Amino acid sequence: MAANPGGGSTDAGGGSVRHIPVLLEEVLAALAPAPGKLILDGTFGAGGYSSAILAAGAEVIALDRDPTAIAAGQAMVAAHGGRLRLIHSQFSHLAEHAPEGGLDGVVLDIGVSSMQIDEAERGFSFQKSGPLDMRMSAEGVSAADVVNRAKVADLIRIFHFLGEESQSPRIAHAIEKRREEKPFETTRDLAGLIELVTPRKMKDKIHPATRVFQALRIFVNDELGELAQALFAAEQALKPGGRLVVVTFHSLEDRIVKKFFSDRAGKASGSRHLPVAHERAATFTAIGKPMVSASEAEAEANPRARSAKLRAGLRTDAAAEAADMSLFGFPNLATLGKLGG
């Protein structure tokens, strides 16, 4: 799970925010948990959604790629007498944890938990001095590996596409110059350089490093690819009548979910200038409004909710389609495996 600054949630780069489940009432309304139903919470985090689903009488399979979240959730597992299974796994693998008969629901909250933000040693926040890490699973390539090893052209693409940072070239070239003298090791190393290169203006609502930190976090954890694969996995794992509910905090994530549901709505293939090649059976139909956002009251009470968007679909009895990543139009970015040390 991950925070989403810039175009996303306000807890992304910085301060301590107590974890409050976002759009909880709306999530429960779309998910419809009840006794006898089995729901998969693909982003357990602090257990906010799982707790509410259990309270509604459903059983829960919960996943999280963060071993810290798995350890912290054991007390909740013990308290629910077998109704909650908590598994250390990326949510892109959720179909592997579904029973043969399928799931009644899947919920995904695509955001970093406040627990991760609050732990300086995880390196998610530039307002807390710590190692430049950002790995949710504590394994693989770190943000420091990316900053110190990636080519300038790759850094520019990463910052521009994943962070929507307009000053990407200036920041990337400044990073290249500085790392020749001394590698980046801490969050303050990087944030301090960005502050010098692109100083904050009076009209700016966010810190100059917000978008770069967002881009690095998304890249290091392959968050967009994980989300896309999780949507395909949910399509396979849900039984007819099952519900897929996704809460996003950033425009890039919301765009992926919107494209997925639009594509799975069963539109006819072919051009408007040519005969229709064939009709595609819908694998999902919309639940309620196409998109739901937080009320003014919730956004005021919980800053994380301000950019949150919920989209939900009801699984039909049509066969799942192929997991074709080209649907989302992702650009070619640097390969993580080539950056590791």
Give dist(CA 188, CA 129) in Å, integer.
6
In a domain, 4, yes or no: no
Q: In this predicted model, what pLDDT tens digit does every residue of 270-308 receive, in sequence order? A: 555 555 556 789 999 999 999 999 999 999 998 888 999
Q: Are residues 144 and 60 in the same domain?
A: no
In a domain, 238, yes or no: yes
Rounded percentage of the chain residues whose pLDDT exceeds 90: 69
Residue 202, Cβ density class (10 Å: 0-12 exposed, 13-18 middle, ≥19 buried):
exposed
* Residue 78, domain extent: 24-107+224-253+279-328
pTM for this structure? 0.86
**What's the mean pLDDT in 239-263?**
96
Beta bridge partners of 110: 248
**What's the mean pLDDT in 223-246?**
97
- For residue 336, CA distances in Å to 183, 189, 211, 216, 219 come to 18, 22, 19, 11, 8
Give dist(CA 330, CA 326) in Å, integer.
7
Q: Are residues 80 and 130 in the same domain?
A: no
In SS3 terms, 198-258 reads as CCCCCCCCCCCCHHHHHHHHHHHCCHHHHHHHHHHHHHHHEEEEEEEEEEECCHHHHHHHH
Give dist(CA 100, CA 79) in Å, integer.
26
As annotated, the binding site includes 47-49, 64, 91, 109, 116
Beta bridge partners of 84: 60
In a domain, 258, yes or no: no
**So what's the pLDDT on residue 206?**
83
Give the mean pLDDT of the chain.
Answer: 86
Q: Are residues 182 and 161 in the same domain?
A: yes
Q: Are residues 317 and 229 in the same domain?
A: yes
As annotated, the binding site for S-adenosyl-L-methionine includes 47-49, 64, 91, 109, 116
What is the band of 17 on the pLDDT scale with cuts at 50, 70, 90?
A: very low
- For residue 145, CA distances in Å to 113, 124, 134, 190, 216 come to 23, 14, 11, 13, 10
Structure tokens at 206: 């966010």
Q: Are residues 69 and 133 in the same domain?
A: no
- Domain count along the chain: 2
